[in-house]
Amino acid sequence: MKKYTILIILIFFTSFFFNVCAQEMGRPIMKLYTKKDYGWHKQNWDVAQDLRGVMYFANVNGVLEYDGKNWKLISLPNETVVRTLAVDDSGRVYVGSAREFGYLAPDKSGEMLYHSLSVELDSMYLDFKSVWFCFATPEGILFSTDKYVIKYNPTAHNLNSKDSIFTVWKADNKFIKAEYVNNRFYVYDLGKGLRHLIGDSLNYVPGTDKIKGQNILSIMPYSKNQILLGMVAGGLWLLDTDNSSSGNKVKKLDTELNSFFTKNGIYNGSQLSNGNYVFATKNGGALITTPGIKPVQLINKCAEMKSNRVFCAKEFDGVLWLCTNNGIVKIETDSETNIWDKDLFEPAETVNDIIRYKGRLYIVHRMVFTIWTL
């Protein structure tokens, strides 16, 4: 009888060893803000932080302002969905929306209000559907729409020099994704190729013909002379931006995660302060990787995250913000505290004991052993 009891325990123990239910790091401290918290639409597209530390979110109903305690909606004249936000060195918040763009500025009482810039643009360029991306750069404020890239010159505007307030470049087909990376503006012209802004010319990047049919949805820094391109269904690619280099200018990145990205779709991405990357996906939540694109942590649907569709993932002051199809998620990336909750335990039971032994973390919950390997 004693031998059989030991045998049963060993079989159960071995079986569970090969079905480890989570990584040792567990789940980071997360906070979900839903429409019940902030009072407006559940869908949010972008996030920015001003110099005071106040947060702004691109919401379907307008710009959400959050000071850490109170929420406020800043409405736009046309009351359409806000897609993008950017903050310049002075702390001014720029806004891109459907058929509209402008900025936020305080009134005499200090309350932030929206001021339209698009009303000053020549009407021949107002036939775009939406401003999808906005960047505050040393060259000016860049608004990327489906039909045009529009550069706004604040200095010229302040001097009332009407002729040089805006510079406009037209898409050959349709602008899909834009980003400001390694001090250069890039935009993908669907089916035509990747373009970059040099001086006053929006040229095609040489040597990128092989990816012109891909749908690029993320553009991120990879090294001093390389940028990382994320495709909707083609995984990750590396673009060599060194003009002196020879050979293959763009190549597919060999990573085990390409199958994950192909399955779940890359929607956006950014680099964190510690060098890691975070990828926002259409169906798989947010994935954090090492600089070498090795998986670190997958943040997906749970009690603190109601949707796996993530439109934007950006870090400010050690906090990662996810703008999703159903609420806003705040993640304490600087915290050394992690949580193992019911989503990480199979089955979910009371924890009786925890011990670390020879590089492994052993957890006993009821009559089940769970092991994490470092």
> Tokens standing for 274?
């510690």
Residues 275 and 373 in one domain: no
- Same domain? For 147 and 160 the reply is yes
The predicted structure's pLDDT at residue 185: 97
Under a CB-based contact definition with an 8 Å cutoff, are residues 107 and 69 in contact? no
CA distance 189 to 146: 9
Shared domain check, 63 and 53: yes
The structural domain count of the chain equals 2
Res 304: pLDDT? 80
| pLDDT one-digit tens code per residue, 190-199 | 989 999 999 9
Q: What is the DSSP string of 16-46?
A: HHTT--S-TT-EE-EEEE-HHHHSS-S-EEE
What confidence category does residue 162 fall into, taking pLDDT thresholds of 50, 70 and 90?
A: low
Task: Report whether pLDDT(25) > 80.
Answer: no
pLDDT level of residue 373 (50, 70, 90 thresholds): very low
What average pLDDT does the segment 38-43 reach?
96
> Does residue 374 share a domain with residue 334?
no
Say whether both 22 and 60 belong to one domain. Answer: no
Higher pLDDT, 364 or 298: 298
Residues 214 and 320 grouped into a single domain: yes
Task: Note the pLDDT of residue 6.
Answer: 36
Same domain, yes or no, for 250 and 365?
Answer: no
DSSP state of 249: S
pLDDT band at 356 (very low <50, low <70, confident <90, very high): confident
> Residues of the chain with pLDDT > 90: what percent?
57
How confident is the model at residue 42, as a pLDDT?
A: 96
Contact 145, 126 (CB under 8 A): no
Give per-residue pLDDT as tens, 67-105.
999 999 999 988 889 999 999 999 999 999 999 999 999
Are residues 14 and 54 both part of a single domain?
no
Surface-to-core class of residue 358, CB atoms within 10 Å of its CB (0-12 exposed, 13-18 middle, 19+ buried): exposed
Domain with 299 in it: 29-338
Which residues have C-beta within 8 Å of that of residue 275, sequence separation ≥ 6?
290, 291
Same domain, 14 and 34: no
Say whether both 78 and 215 belong to one domain. Answer: yes
For residues 211 and 102, membership in a common domain is answered with: yes
Sequence-distant (6+) residues with CB within 8 A of 158 are: none
Q: Residue 2 — pLDDT band, cuts 50, 70, 90? A: very low
Look up the CATH number of the domain holding residue 118: 2.130.10.10
pLDDT at 334: 65
Compute the distance between CA of residue 187 and CA of residue 89 in angstroms, rounded to an integer. 23
Same domain, 151 and 7: no
